[in-house]
Structure 1
Amino acid sequence: MTTDLRRRLVVYVTSLLVLIAVYSAAYRWGMAAFEEESRTWFGAMDVVVQSMTTTGYGQDAPWTSVEMTLLMVLIQVTGIAYIFVAFPAFVVPWLERLVRPAPPGEIGTVTDHVIVVGYTSLCRTLVDELEATGTGYVIVEPDEERARSLFEADFSVTHGDPSSAGTLADVQLDDARAVVVDASNREHIGSIVEIDRLDVDADVFAIVADPERARYLRYAGVDEVLSPKHRLGKALADKLRSVVDTDGVEFGDGFDCYEFQIGSGSDLLGDPLVAARRVESDGATVLGAWVRGDFFPTLPSDLRIDRNTTLLVAGATESLERVESLTRTDGRPYRPERTPAVVVGTGIVGSAAIGTLERADLEWVAVDLEDGPFVDVVGDATEEAVLSAAGVDDAGSIILALDEDREALVTSLVARALNPDVSCLVGANLDGNVERFTTAGADYVLALPSVAGRMLTEAIFEREAMTFADSVHVRSTDVPGWLADDFDRSRVRERTGCSLVAIERHGRYYSPTDDLAVVSDDRLVVAGTESRIDAFGDEFDADADA
């Protein structure tokens, strides 16, 4: 029985007993005063209960006085009302509990799995990634009703107290790879202490909204404390830093680099990131992708595309129709380092963004409701005058790092009205608001739960986070002989790992479609990581020496 249902039952039964007692006293007094007959307490209660339950009208019927008749009508109506209230409040939930499947109290044999203590929005992306990679997991949910809902949604879940040694044994803690706890919910601190007491080999990871609490969690036995808000702010600021090194290659005349954030209706949603290559069928080239705050110059198959994915694509204007149809969004030219940047909010997210901009030597201005060490303009950012004072009218970018998504949504609309060309980057607190921000005109939206999921995945599987040494290098080169005789853009990627971006002919750039043959004086524009560009050069040198 859930806590809410138990509380309602206590209120219902208590009020019913009080009402029966009041009606019994009133009936006993009324019979003596108006009918001139005395009744015992038990006799009066018997008549009241019969009338309230509609099983009879009492052996004293009919009554001769108007007062007693009205009292009996009131008792009968009250009884019927209580019966009608009981059905939706107690009978229906009880029947639903009988019909609905209950989550298991323990799981089958499993090893090297991940235990998630309490399913919160910050853990949702992690569970999605675990399912996508086929990694075993089990959610330990102390709330029975929520556990039932998760079980019905086909999650691997068990209902139990996560701070109980018995529950932890049921989910096979001894054989687990890792335990994840959302420590923003203080009731789960006991789970961390119990896991530490059991002294198991599994790594324990805790997510915190406030980094100030990290030391307490380490005292309790957590191996690593993760702060997704700090990572969110850094990721938003990193988006202003260039991830493309063109080394003198300057596109123009309808050929450029574009950003496409994945839309809600995209056919790519849920697919492995490498499936984004499907947009290249008309000559466009995927240079890389931002996934939940990290940039990937290569497209791994173990990452899934979601609404927090943005593709970096190079191509001619006519080759982008395929990209737009698959992503369900309009692309915009990729222009990094749009400064000055106005940072709205100087909390954990905003402070992290400011620190990243400062280290990158990018100009910024901070706005907050209250004065502080980073604040340049004090005021409500939803007011036009405040944003104008911060220089939004002439700013290159605005980073919204507010605690309330509603305030950020209004601020984005105001900023867009003041400067239609400003690049708007938003840190959303809820995944469900990503679409709202995009509709309102935000150019890049990153949700906190997605960042948390990405951080947990990296920590659990010991993956390295993106660094700017992993940027995309674009180079112009002569056509190697092994490609000139048999032009096929896929051969470039197969042989060197680089992507063929364009064919340069007499100063103009063309998309490398299969029906475009190369000639002797053409040059190729290729893209890849620094190591892969070097591999392409080695292949070219080997071809020249042959």
Structure 2
Amino acid sequence: MPPHPNRRRQVVGHFKRSTKRLFILLLSLPLVILAGALLYMSGMSYLEHSPRDFWTSLEWAAETLTTTGYGSDSHWTHPAMILFVIFFELVGMSFYVLVFPVFFLPYFEERFEVRLPARLPAMAGRVLIHRYDPAVDSLVEELRRVGTAFVILEQDERQARRLRDRGYDVVFGTLDEQPGILAGVEAAQALITNADDHADATFIMMARERGYRGPILALAENPLHRQPMEKIGATAVFTPSHVLGAALASRASSRISPKVEGLQLLGERVGIADFRVQSSSPLAGKRLGDLRLRARYGATVIGQWIGGRFAPAEGPETSIEPGAILVVAGAHANLARVERLATPLRRHGPIVVAGHGIVGRKVVEMLRDAGETAIVIDIRPDAAVDVVGNVLEHATLDDAQVRKASAVVLALSNDSAGVFATAVVRDYAPEVPLIARVNLAPNVARLYQAGADFALSVGQVAGQILAHH
């Protein structure tokens, strides 16, 4: 059987990296020894007046580089000769410092590291995920939680190794160069493709060509590509970034959807919601036993986020902390009633949107379609940007009238920047509702700790969409 294309590419890559470096080392080492021997011969003849033949000089150079000693030939009197010997000793030590970490270790690591699988395993009962990023992170965790086996097809080698180290089943390869990589896909339980739109289309067509008849779910970047993808074989196509933008806009404006903040569906009628308890709320500082939320509103308090840590409700003596994020379960209408008690959001003034990327543009589009006044902040000048500046600077927040806003939406693409911007805006405008997006679901808790009233990740959105299909 001819070698697999992926394996051939790995071998070529190894030669271009570690083998080339090792070849340079093996070539340079004898040249350095030879140069040292010739210089030593000249120095001993003209400076020490004690000539050495070539072989003795060559032996000296080799002993210096290998630090094995000089034997009887270790007495020099001329300063220049002594400096040369010291210099060459340092050259020898530098070879030791460089040779092992730079040349030998990478060479042996690449030769003996575990090869990534280049073919799909038996796919019966498994879900195949094409390309991994934060958009499918929540889905992967949900699949692990319910015990559904899955395989990730990844074309980035570093990402593939990271996923393998996390214990995931990974196949490394590309569709363009390895058309046979999807052999056996027809037995899979479901397929999810999360690459760029062109690669998604290729994956869908190749899977259908191999006889796969099950569901194929695609996460697209451009909503205009939904219909074409469905025509070539996708069962359903979603745009998580746009759904995330719509969710953030609906939290900022009652005109779009005066829904419960942070709602997660458990069924058609029941859900879990999380919202911040303002200091002015009648819930703040009260005990659950005194509030009787279940009897009065049909809602059950599960717990609260305090300072970034979740504290489960332990009984009627549990007090609701001002500023905490309350987690409540119940019917959707009942949750809305509790939310009005917990977070009496202002419903007047402009809505400030910081960040004008894919998500930010969707937020602004929905807000303006609903008749809201949206003020856009972005660090890059653009015709659609109202205030050009850094959201971390008070001057920018002043120009955007953040203190007069009915809500602030942080649609920044970087999680670290989003968390810090949340803290800055919360300190600048403590009473303004603050809504933030994030890429990685684990950072949602950090946003709450920094002061966000509502936080949502693209992974949560994509995970909930895919889990319901």
TM-score range, shorter chain: 0.5 to 0.7
Inter-partner Cα distance in structure 2 for 1:445 and 1:136: 30
CA distance in 1, matches of 2:378, 2:157: 41
- 1:132 partnered with 2:110: no
Residue aligning to 2:274: 310
Q: Which residue of 2 aligns with 1:492?
A: none
How many angstroms apart in 1 are the aligned matches of 2:417 and 2:130? 31
TM-score by length of 1: 0.59
- Contact 2:22–2:104, Cα closer than 8 Å, also in 1: no
- What corresponds to 1:251 in structure 2? none
Q: Distance in 2 between matches of 1:132 and 1:21?
A: 60
**1:456-535 counterparts in 2 under 5 A?**
456-458=466-468, 461=469
What is the RMSD of the two structures over their aligned residues, measured on CA atoms?
4.8
TM-score where L is the length of structure 2: 0.67
1:54 and 1:187 mapped to 2: Cα distance? 56
| 1:165 and 2:179 aligned | yes
Displacement of 1:233: 0.9
How many residues of Structure 1 are paired with residues of Structure 2 in the alignment?
Answer: 405
Label 1:33 to 1:128 Cα distance change in 2 as closer, same or farther (>3 A). same
1:215, CA displacement in angstroms? 8.6
Shift in alpha-carbon separation, 1:315–1:202, aligned structure 2, 3 A: farther
- AA aligned to 1:338 is R
Question: Does residue 436 in structure 1 map to residue 426 in structure 2?
Answer: no
Q: Deviations over 1:472-508 (max 9, x none)?
A: xxxxxxxxxxxxxxxxxxxxxxxxxxxxxxxxxxxxx
Q: Show CA shifts across 1:383-439 (max 9, x none).
A: 334333333222221111123344444543443334321110001234443333222
Q: What is the percentage of aligned positions where both structures have the same residue?
A: 26
The partner residue of 1:21 within 31, 37, 45 is 31
- Whether the aligned pair in 2 keeps the contact of 1:32 and 1:39 (CA below 8 Å) is no
TM superposition shift of 1:443: 0.7
Q: Which runs of 5+ in 2 are unaligned?
A: 1-9, 46-50, 292-300, 305-310, 314-320, 327-338
Distance 2:58 2:365 in 1: 74
- 8 Å Cα contact 2:175/2:181 also seen in 1: yes
How far, CA to CA, are the matches of 1:436 and 1:330 in structure 2? 12
Which residue number in structure 2 is paired with residue 122 of structure 1? 135
Counterpart of 2:252 in 1: which secondary structure?
A: coil
Partner amino acid, structure 1, of 2:439? N
- Aligned-pair CA distance for 1:191: 5.9
The separation in 2 between residues aligned to 1:334 and 1:151, in whole angstroms, is: 43
CA distance, structure 2, for counterparts of residue 14 and residue 432 of structure 1? 46
Residue 312 of structure 2 corresponds to residue 326 of structure 1: yes
Partner of 1:497: none
Query: Structure 2 matches for 1:303-452, cutoff 5 A?
Result: 310=274, 317-319=286-288, 323-324=303-304, 325-326=311-312, 329-331=324-326, 333-335=342-344, 338-340=347-349, 341-370=351-380, 372=382, 374-452=384-462
Structure 1: distance between partners of 2:54 and 2:368: 87
Distance of 1:185 and 1:83 partners within structure 2: 49
Inter-partner Cα distance in structure 2 for 1:229 and 1:372: 21
CA offset at residue 197 of structure 1?
6.0
Which residue number corresponds to residue 109 of structure 1? 122
**Paired AA for residue 230 in structure 1:** H
Task: Report if the CA contact (8 A) 2:201-2:232 is conserved.
Answer: no
Could you tell me how far apart the structure 1 residues matched to 2:396 and 2:77 are? 75
Question: Does 2:222 correspond to 1:211?
Answer: yes
Distance 2:224 2:37 in 1: 62
Cα deviation, residue 232, structure 1: 1.4
Q: Which residue of 1 aligns with 2:263?
A: 290
Partner AA of 2:391 in structure 1: A
1:503 matched to which residue of 2? none
- Segments of 5+ residues of structure 1 without an aligned counterpart are 247-256, 260-288, 462-546
User: SS at the partner of 1:239?
Assistant: helix
For the pair 1:229 / 2:233, whether they are aligned, the reply is no
Cα gap change, 1:5 to 1:426, in 2 (>3 Å): farther
**Contact 1:236–1:427 (8 Å) recurs in 2:** yes
TM-fit CA distance, 1:151: 3.1
Distance 1:216 1:85, change over 3 A: farther
